[in-house]
């Protein structure tokens, strides 16, 4: 369940203020924004390109009803730039694909369409998101499972310090499991 009063903020030198807040699927604003992003060709690996606006709303209302899964909109200086989802792997089909460890926390990332290409943009957002996830001391390791065909996402995660795990069949796709433990993340922070 979302707590709309909770917003994470981080000021990043040379980048701006990044805020992460829960998605509110009961508002047209959030549903319209998410639909506009997930229906684009660039979001094909998200798996919702053919979902209509109403279906997107249903999916995010269902997600919002689960205490183990959460959706987050990320803004940079007030402009929406990314959609993150977090989940407890033991409460998700991915948990049946590998031995879940205490403190594992799953995540998905969708960067919104950029106004212009900006070097370091995705890496900066990913670091802020990981700061957000690891701010909870119960989270010991982040697990991500991008579509194995999404070579850019896999490469980005590996550059961030994630370690490649096995290829698995989950959520109707062949996915690459990737893991980042807290110690590796903290050791790599500037």
Read off the pTM: 0.91
Provide the domain limits for residue 100: 8-188
The string of DSSP letters for 46-93 reads GS-TT--HHHHHHHHHHHHH-TTEEEEEEEETTEEEEEEEEE-GGGSG
The tokens for 42 are: 């660039």
CB 141 within 8 A of CB 124: no
In a domain, 23, yes or no: yes
Q: Write out the H or E segment, with its range, that includes residue 34.
A: helix 28-38
In a domain, 62, yes or no: yes
pLDDT band at 190 (very low <50, low <70, confident <90, very high): low
Instruction: Please write the tens of the pLDDT for every residue from 36-95.
Output: 999 998 888 888 889 999 999 999 999 999 999 999 999 999 999 999 999 999 999 999
In a domain, 89, yes or no: yes
In a domain, 140, yes or no: yes
CATH code of the domain covering residue 155: 3.40.630.30
pLDDT of res. 4: 44
Number of domains in the chain: 1
Instruction: Please write the tens of the pLDDT for every residue from 162-183.
Output: 999 999 999 889 999 999 999 9
């Amino acid at each position: 369940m979302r707590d709309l009063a909770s917003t994470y903020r981080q000021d990043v030198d040379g980048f701006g203020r990044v805020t992460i807040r829960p998605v509110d699927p009961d508002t047209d604003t959030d549903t319209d924004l998410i639909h506009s992003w997930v229906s684009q060709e660039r979001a094909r690996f998200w798996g919702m390109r053919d979902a209509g606006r109403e279906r997107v709303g249903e999916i995010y209302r269902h997600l919002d009803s689960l205490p183990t899964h959460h959706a987050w909109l990320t803004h940079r200086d007030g402009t929406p730039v990314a959609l993150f989802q977090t989940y407890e792997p033991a409460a998700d089909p991915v948990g049946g694909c590998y031995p879940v460890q205490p403190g594992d926390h799953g995540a998905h990332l969708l960067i919104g369409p950029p106004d212009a290409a900006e070097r370091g943009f995705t890496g900066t957002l990913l670091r802020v998101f990981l700061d957000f996830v690891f701010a909870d001391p119960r989270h010991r390791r982040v697990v991500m499972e991008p579509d194995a065909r999404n070579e850019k996402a896999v490469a980005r995660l590996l550059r961030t310090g994630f370690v490649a795990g096995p290829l698995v069949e989950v959520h109707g796709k062949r996915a690459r499991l990737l893991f980042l433990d807290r110690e590796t993340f903290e050791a790599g922070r500037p």
